[in-house]
Amino acid sequence: MCYYNSMDKKRFDIKEFVDVDTEAAVMLGLVARARLRRKELGLTQQGLANKSDVSYASIRKFEKTGEISLTSLMKIAAALDCLSDFNALLASKKITNLKEWKP
């Protein structure tokens, strides 16, 4: 899997070779899920821009490169009816002792 950064340079992700989450893999997954949700709701990029109050150019760039501000991403999430997903971010307690670990 390769992706392009904001300067349109081709990059490769170590996820291709090792089963580990990377920033690029998580970003690409997020973009894919957002695009899928947009399409499930029958929204075009322009329709999502209108509903979210995020510019069409920002949505187009997000779906192409994954780059977007947190504020705009939260507006898009609200428009896609998944704002509550943000509550899970950084909510996990850091495990410092194996006795605390619960699968």
Token reading at 63? 């779906």
Classify 45 as helix, strand or coil.
helix
Q: What is the pLDDT of residue 23?
A: 85
The domain segmentation of the chain, as residue ranges, is 2-84
According to CATH, the topology of domain 2-84 is: 434 Repressor (Amino-terminal Domain) (1.10.260)
Are residues 41 and 17 in contact, defined by beta-carbon separation less than 8 angstroms?
Answer: no
pLDDT by residue for the chain (103 residues), tens only, comes to: 444 555 555 666 665 666 677 888 889 999 999 999 999 999 999 999 999 999 999 999 999 999 999 999 999 999 999 999 988 888 877 777 777 666 6
Dist. CA 62–CA 6, nearest whole Å: 10
pLDDT value at residue 44: 98
Contacting residues for 10 by C-beta, under 8 A, at least 6 apart: 2, 3, 4
- pLDDT for 2: 47
Cβ contacts of 6 within 8 Å, gap of 6 or more? 65, 67
Distance (Å, whole) CA 59 – CA 72: 9
User: What does DSSP say about strands 2-4 and 10-12: parallel, antiparallel, or unpaired?
Assistant: antiparallel
